[in-house]
């Protein structure tokens, strides 16, 4: 799924039940972790960093960072570690596994299929690319509906 939609879904599904901005940051962090260094590298080299590059020109480190940030096993390990240290896992961090769960069916094998069982298994789902026009339309229509629903509930609550 695209990073803006991840932020908006995190806002709606996690942020409303915890802290909004930390949830949004947690929801976009897996993609920032994987792609921000490469985007920065391209900007420094003077290359336009907009648009989808061919996967063959993307450096291997980007795929390794993507493996780390898009693994439910890594997220589970970090959550277990946080629980051991803090005796709790901050609820806004649930936006991280939500990001992974939403990426599993919205990436095809052709462009960054989600390595949700990495490093134990290399199984990846061949999903519908999030950039498919009808999917973008349905996804953003669902988000707009959800924001409108909450806005109307908030207005009714003030009366």
Q: Which helix (H) or strand (E) holds 108?
A: none
Residue 35 near Zn ion by CB under 5 A: no
- Stretch of 20-28, 38-46, 50-58, 97-105 contacting Zn ion, by CB under 5 A: 97-105
Q: Which is nearer to Zn ion, 76 or 148 (CB)?
A: 76
Does residue 66 belong to the site contacting Zn ion (CB under 5 A)?
A: no
Out of 11, 23, 31, 106, the only residue in the binding site for Zn ion (CB under 5 A) is 31
From 46, 55, 52, 67, select the one nearest 124 (Cα to Cα): 67
Residue with Cβ nearer Zn ion (31 or 124): 31
Residue 106 in the binding site for Zn ion (CB under 5 A): no
Residue 127, interface with Zn ion (CB under 5 A)?
no
Quote the CA–CA distance of 90 and 22 in Å, as a whole number. Answer: 10
* Using rule CB under 5 A, residue 124 touches Zn ion: no
CB 83 within 8 A of CB 89: yes
At residue 118, the 3 state secondary structure works out as coil
How far is the C-alpha of 37 from the C-alpha of 42, rounded, in Å?
9
103 binds Zn ion (CB under 5 A): yes
Q: How far is the CB of 3 from Zn ion (least distance, A)?
A: 7
First to last CA, the chain: 37
Chain contacts with Zn ion (rule: CB under 5 A): 30-31, 103
């Amino acid at each position: 799924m695209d990073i803006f939609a991840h932020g908006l879904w995190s806002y709606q599904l996690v942020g409303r039940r915890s802290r909004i901005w930390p949830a949004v940051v947690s929801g976009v962090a897996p993609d920032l972790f994987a792609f921000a260094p490469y985007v920065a590298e391209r900007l420094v080299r003077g290359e336009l960093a907009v648009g989808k590059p061919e996967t063959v020109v993307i450096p291997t480190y980007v795929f390794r960072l993507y493996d780390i940030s898009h693994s439910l096993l890594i997220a589970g390990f970090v959550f277990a570690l946080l629980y051991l240290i803090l005796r709790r896992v901050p609820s806004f961090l649930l936006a991280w596994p939500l990001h992974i769960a939403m990426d599993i069916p919205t990436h095809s094998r052709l462009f960054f299929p989600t390595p949700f069982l990495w490093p134990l298994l290399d199984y990846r789902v061949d999903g519908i690319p999030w950039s498919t026009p009808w999917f973008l339309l349905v996804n953003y229509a669902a988000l707009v509906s959800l924001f409108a629903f909450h806005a109307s509930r908030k207005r009714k609550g003030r009366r």
